[in-house]
Structure 1
Amino acid sequence: MVTPQAGDALMSLQRIAAVGLVGFIGLAGTLGLVTVGAVGSTAQTRAPSCVSSGSVSGLTASQAQNARTVVAVATQRGGERAAFIAVMVALAESGLRVLTNPNDPSGAAYPNEGVGYDHDSLGLFQQRPSWGTAAQRMSPTESTHLFLDALLRVPGWQEMTPWYAAQMVQRSAFTGRPTVGNHGSSMVGENYWRQADRAVGIVAAIKGSTITLDCGDAGVPIVQTASAGTHGLPAEYAIPQGTSPAGRLAVTFALAQLGKPYVWGGNGPGGYDCSGLTQQAWIRGGVRIGRVVSQQLRAGAPTTLASLQPGDLVMIPGALGTMAAPGHVGMYIGQGLVVHAPRTGDVVRVVSLKPFISDGLAGLRHIS
C-alpha cells in the first residue's frame, strides 16, 4: 500500500504511465527499433549516490534497499521518469535482486541474492560483460549508473513510453515482433510494461518516505581543530592574504554556514549537502558551478595540492564513491583546512586537509 505522504509522487508517476500507454498505441506499430549499445567499462564520472533505508511494502529487505538505491541514483541523474523506468526494468530483469550467473563465475565473488541463467548476465539489470566489470554489474549503485548511462543516450527517451525506452536500452526479446522467445508478443517492451503498475507503487512509496536519507557520509574522520563550539574552525583563523575577491566571498559564505545540519539535496539556508554548500558558496562568489559532485569535478580548472587556493574544491571518494567517480566534495579555506557538509546527522564543519584526503584524493579544482 502506498503511504499518504506518497500521494503526489503516485499521481505524477501514474500520469507518466498513463500518458505512456496512450502514446504507445500510436508508437508500437510505427517506430523502428533503435538500439543503444552498452557503455562498456570506461570510467564514468558519477553523481553522488544518496540512498535511504527502510521497508517497502511487498518487497524483502534486500529488494527494498536495492529499490531505494535505484531510485536515488536514477532520480539524481534523470529525474522521476528515469527512476520509474529503472525500477520497472530491474523488476522485470531480476525481481530487484542482485543475481550471479554460472555462465560468468566472476560474479560469485560479490554479494548476491540469487542465481540467474540468462546468457552471461549479472546483477539487478542483467547486464552482460560488455556493460562493465563484474564488480560494476554486481553493485546496485554502479549497475544503476551503467543503466542510466545508456538510457540518457537514447534520443528523446523522455517522450517515449517508459517500456519502449527501457527496450531501447535493454534490447530484450520483446522487440514487437512475435517469436517463441517473447511468447508471441507484438508489443515492444511488454516485459517491462507488465511491471509498470508495481514500479509506480514502489517509486511513489520511496519518494514519499519520510525516512532520513543517508547519502552524504564522507567516510572521513571528524577531526576537530578547535572547540566543538566553533565546529572545527581555529580561533586564530583568518582568510589568507592574496585570496581572490571571488574566493574570499565564497569562503566567507561557507564559513557562515558552520553548524547548520547536513540535509541531502539541501541548498540552504537551513541545511546543505556537500555539493549544495560548495555551489551556494560559489554563487556568492559570482561563479555558477554545477549542483552535483560529478559536475563540480569539471568546474574551473585542475590544480595541485601545492597550488591550492582558498575556495578551491577538494573531491574525495567518500563512503559510496570511487577515485574515478568521487562522491564527496569540500572547499579548501587555507591554512591546511577544509570546510564541508559531512553526512546525515552531522553539521557543516571544518576539518584538516590531511585526514580529509587520507582515503584518496579524487580531484582538485580551482574555480576563480
Structure 2
Amino acid sequence: MSLIRAATGVFASGAITFAGLGVVTVGAAGSTSLPERPPTCVSTGAVKGLSASQAQNARIIVATAEQRSGRAGAYVAIMVALAESDLRILSNPNDPAGASIPSQGVGHDHDSLGLFQQRPGWGSAARRMDATESTNLFVDALLQVNGWQSMTPWYAAQTVQRSAFTGRPTGANGGSSVVGGNYLRQASRAAAILNFVEVDTSALDCGGAPADTLALGGAASHGMPSGFVLPATTSPQARTAVAFALAQLGKPYLWGGNGPSSFDCSGLTQQAWRRAGVVIGRVVGQQLRDGAAITSTTLSPGDLIMIPGATGTLAAPGHVGMYIGHGLVVNAPRTGDVVSVVTYKSFVSKGLSGLRHIA
C-alpha cells in the first residue's frame, strides 16, 4: 500500500500555513540554451477526469517537478498548470513563434504559451510549449523563492506567476482578496491528481532490482560482502527498498539524478522507498522529517542516515545513505564515484545529523 499524505499535508511540515510570507521577486528564466536536466521516469495511463493529453501532461509535471523540488513542488506545479491552462499546452495568436508547434488548444492571455502560460521572458516558444521543459522553467523560478516551502501552495504559486490575484480586489481578479486565489481554487483537484499519479509512479520500474540481488552470488558488488543476507526481521517494504538500492550498485553519481541510469544520494533513497510503495521527500532536508526518529541502537534495514556531507552541517545535513543491516550503508557518494556499500562507522565518521525509520 502506498503511504501518500493527504492534501493538507502536501508540504512536509504537515498542515499548510501562512508562515513566512515574504514576497521575493523572481527573475524569469530566459536563457536560450537548454541546461542539462536530470532524467525523469514518467508513468503513463488515464487519470480520472482528464483527457489523455491532460493526463500525460500531469504525469510529466509530477515526475519532473517532484524529483527537483519534492512533493510540495509538484503540488504547486500541478495547481498552477490547472489554473493557467487546464493542463493543456496552449498556443497563442499573439506569439507567432509558437504557431508551428503542436498544441492542445489556443489561449489569448497576452503572449503567454504552454501549460504554465509563460511569456517570452521565460524562454523560447519551443521550451514554453514542451511539457518537460516548461515544468523545469517553472521549478527553476520556484526554487529561487526564499522559503517557498513554508508558504501556502497558492501563495508560492502567485509569487512565481505574479498573476492578477495579488490579494487586492480588482476587476481583473473578480474582487478576490486572496493572494493566489485562482490557484487556491485548484487545490483539491491538484491534490487528487497528485495522489493518483504517485500511486502509479510508486509501482513504476525505473531501474528495478534483479530477482537475485540479495541471493548468494547475486548481482550485487561494489563493496557488498560476499554472502550478504538481510536480517530475517526486515519488513517486506524495507526488503523491497533495500533490494532496489542494491540493484543500483555501480551506477554513477549524478547531482539531481533520479534514475534509472544515475542517482544522487537522496534520489537513490527516494526511488528505493518509492519502489516499496512509500512516498518520501526528494531532498535530504525533507527526508530528515520523513518517517520517525530513531537511535543507532534501533537501526534496521531501510532506515535513512543523514550526515553533513560536503555541503551541509550537523543541523542542516547535505547527505543521506540507507542502512542495509550488518553495519553497512548503501551510498551514492559524489560526482565521479558510483553507488556502493560502505560501513556505517565510516559513513558517520564526520558526524551524524539524524536517523529516520521509514517503514
**Which range, TM-score by smaller chain?**
0.5 to 0.7
Task: Give SS of 2:4's match.
Answer: helix
* One-letter amino acid matched to 1:187: V
Report the Cα distance in structure 1 between the residues aligned to 2:206 and 2:112, rounded to whole angstroms.
Answer: 28
Report the Cα distance in structure 2 between the residues aligned to 1:159 and 1:113, rounded to whole angstroms.
Answer: 34
* One-letter amino acid matched to 1:19: A
The equivalent of 1:175 in structure 2 is 166
Distance 1:85 1:141, change over 3 A: same
1:191 equivalent in alignment to 2:182 = yes
Distance 1:293 1:196, change over 3 A: closer
Shift of 1:170: 0.4
Distance 1:366 1:202, change over 3 A: closer
1:73 to 61, 64, 70: 64
Distance 1:114 1:214, change over 3 A: farther
1:43 to 34, 45, 70: 34
Shift of 1:273: 11
The equivalent of 2:310 in structure 1 is none
1:151 to 123, 134, 142: 142
TM-score, length-scaled by structure 1: 0.57
5 Å-filtered alignment, 1:253-272, equals: 270-271=243-244
Unaligned runs of 5+ in 1: 217-249, 257-266, 283-288, 300-364
| Cα shift readout 1:134-154 (whole Å, capped 9, x = no counterpart) | 111000000000000000110
Report the Cα distance in structure 2 between the residues aligned to 1:73 and 1:272, rounded to whole angstroms.
Answer: 21
Task: Give SS of 1:208's match.
Answer: helix
Shift of 1:158: 0.4
* One-letter amino acid matched to 2:198: K
The equivalent of 1:109 in structure 2 is 100
1:34 to 24, 43, 61: 24
1:292 equivalent in alignment to 2:288 = no
Distance 1:203 1:366, change over 3 A: closer
The equivalent of 1:138 in structure 2 is 129
The equivalent of 1:98 in structure 2 is 89
Shift of 1:270: 3.5
Task: Give SS of 1:187's match.
Answer: coil
Report the Cα distance in structure 2 between the residues aligned to 1:152 and 1:204, rounded to whole angstroms.
Answer: 22
* One-letter amino acid matched to 2:24: V
Unaligned runs of 5+ in 2: 208-219, 227-239, 265-334, 339-359
Report the Cα distance in structure 1 between the residues aligned to 2:183 and 2:123, rounded to whole angstroms.
Answer: 23
1:9 to 4, 7, 10: 4
Pairs aligned (count): 240
TM-score, length-scaled by structure 2: 0.58
Shift of 1:107: 1.3
| Cα shift readout 1:79-115 (whole Å, capped 9, x = no counterpart) | 1111110000000000000000000112122221100
The equivalent of 1:56 in structure 2 is 47
| Cα shift readout 1:319-340 (whole Å, capped 9, x = no counterpart) | xxxxxxxxxxxxxxxxxxxxxx
The equivalent of 2:15 in structure 1 is 19
The answer to whether the 8 A contact 1:54-1:211 is kept is no
Report the Cα distance in structure 1 between the residues aligned to 2:336 and 2:55, rounded to whole angstroms.
Answer: 40
Higher relative contact order (Cα pairs below 8 Å, separated by 6+ residues): 1
Report the Cα distance in structure 1 between the residues aligned to 2:85 and 2:163, rounded to whole angstroms.
Answer: 13
Shift of 1:208: 1.2
Shift of 1:290: 3.9
Distance 1:155 1:278, change over 3 A: farther
The answer to whether the 8 A contact 1:38-1:150 is kept is yes
Distance 1:215 1:148, change over 3 A: farther
Q: Which has the higher helix share?
A: 1
- Larger Cα Rg: Structure 1 or Structure 2? 1
Identity %: 54
Task: Give SS of 1:109's match.
Answer: coil
| Cα shift readout 1:202-225 (whole Å, capped 9, x = no counterpart) | 000111126854767xxxxxxxxx
* One-letter amino acid matched to 2:8: Q
2:110 to 110, 115, 119: 119
| Cα shift readout 1:274-295 (whole Å, capped 9, x = no counterpart) | 9x5545x77xxxxxx646179x
Shift of 1:251: 8.8
* One-letter amino acid matched to 2:136: H
The answer to whether the 8 A contact 2:61-2:74 is kept is yes
Runs of 4+ in 1 over 4 A off after TM superposition: 250-254, 271-274, 276-279, 365-368
Pairwise CA RMSD? 3.5
Task: Give SS of 1:59's match.
Answer: coil
Shift of 1:9: 1.8
The answer to whether the 8 A contact 1:98-1:140 is kept is yes
The answer to whether the 8 A contact 1:52-1:211 is kept is no
Report the Cα distance in structure 2 between the residues aligned to 1:100 and 1:273, rounded to whole angstroms.
Answer: 45
